Amino acid sequence: MSSLISNAELKSELEAILPICSHLTIISAFITQSATRWLSTLISANKPSVKLIGRFTPIDFIQGSSSLNALRDCIEKGYEVRALSNLHAKIYQVDENTIFNGSANLTGKGLALVDVSNLEACNKVIACEDSKYFINKIIDSSYELSAKTIDDMEIYISEIEKINKPELQMTWPEDIISQSNDIFVSDFPLSAPGDLVEEYEVNPSLPFAQIENVSDDFEAASTLFKKSKAYRWLVKTVIDNKSDRDLGFGQLSRMLHEALADDPAPYRQQIKDLQVNLYSYLRIYATDEMEIYTPGRKSEVLKLIKHQHK
């Protein structure tokens, strides 16, 4: 049985075990320099293998939630630094079997390293195989950053920082960070357009939380929708369709169920709900590229408008 501990207690526990650990994986939406310097001091003698995975969207650095200098320092020290744009988890895995998880980011406030810190809650558990698999799945889905990537990110941020276009501040160009090919439930709309859900408030970096945030600007929302992994998967699936018939709702449901990388896989009804929501967004933001029609009284069918995709 595990019990809740505060971030101050988490800090104390980490200070006791990190100087003797061999492997360290930290998954944290936000990472700042005060925390990475604290971390480096603790592990400077034993030099463990270190992996850091963060959210690292442009707006995180613009707002100061994460630090490019912190990431640059970590890469110079030989740490493996990776980005996953829809990340919200906070997990500290020390060696194979010790895991701390909760709400504490690898930041000064998250780990009570500064005088005025957040009040966070965490628990300590012994890692089971499912937990290790879950962590490895996050790592495999993320994108490894290099020193050049950090330089490119800094240049991009300097170019867009004063431009009031949310679609530029929430995602990186493909030539800086390529999105993972894996798709997850969180890449899809969790509700119909205009309906806000708790997940969007907790994690505003989710793609459809971003779209809802700019829904009063049709052009920005449409751009974000067409860049979303959910819509790009839909377009690719329709293009790759080898049958003589356009894809119906049931066919797409089966294909989406097979494509999602979530473990455990979502229920069929959840798949259908995601699909219904996605179609609703399509009707608003992408009617110039995709048509949804109903032949007779049969299920909804998707058809690409060919002149838009040569």
- Predicted confidence at residue 1, as pLDDT, reads 55
Q: Tokens representing 196?
A: 């806000």
| φ, ψ of residue 121 in degrees (nearest 5) | -125, 135
pLDDT in tens, 11-31: 999 999 999 999 999 999 999
Q: Tokens representing 25?
A: 């994986």
pLDDT at 73 over 70: yes
CA atoms of 199 and 213, how far apart (whole Å): 13
Model confidence at 297, pLDDT cuts 50, 70, 90, reads low
pLDDT at 206 over 60: yes
CA atoms of 45 and 180, how far apart (whole Å): 35
pLDDT in tens, 158-171: 998 877 777 678 88
Nearest by Cα to 107 from 116, 97, 99: 116
Task: Report the C-alpha dihedral over residues 117, 119, 123, 127, rounded to 10 degrees.
Answer: -40
Asked if residues 30 and 59 have their Cβ atoms less than 8 Å apart, the reply is no
Q: Which residues pair with 90 in a beta bridge?
A: 28
CA atoms of 112 and 110, how far apart (whole Å): 6
CA atoms of 71 and 31, how far apart (whole Å): 8
Domain boundaries, the chain: 4-155, 181-308
Asked if residues 48 and 20 have their Cβ atoms less than 8 Å apart, the reply is no
pLDDT at 308 over 50: no
Mean local confidence (pLDDT), 133-145: 90
Q: Tokens representing 48?
A: 């463990």
pLDDT > 70: what percent of the chain?
96
CA atoms of 84 and 139, how far apart (whole Å): 9
Asked if residues 74 and 90 have their Cβ atoms less than 8 Å apart, the reply is no
Q: What is the DSSP letter of 190?
A: S
Nearest by Cα to 94 from 153, 24, 159: 24
Question: Strand 301-304 relative to strand 98-102: parallel, antiparallel, unpaired?
Answer: unpaired
4-155 to CATH, choices 3.40.50.1820, 3.40.50.1240, 3.40.1710.10, 3.30.870.10: 3.30.870.10
Nearest by Cα to 109 from 38, 44, 51, 19: 38
CA atoms of 168 and 223, how far apart (whole Å): 10
Nearest by Cα to 195 from 273, 290, 87: 273
CA atoms of 296 and 248, how far apart (whole Å): 13
Asked if residues 46 and 20 have their Cβ atoms less than 8 Å apart, the reply is yes
- Predicted confidence at residue 28, as pLDDT, reads 97
Nearest by Cα to 103 from 209, 210, 206, 5: 5
- Angle formed at CA 63 by CA 61 and CA 68, multiple of 5 degrees: 20
pLDDT at 144 over 50: yes
Model confidence pTM above 0.85: no
Mean local confidence (pLDDT), 228-256: 88
Higher pLDDT, 70 or 247: 70
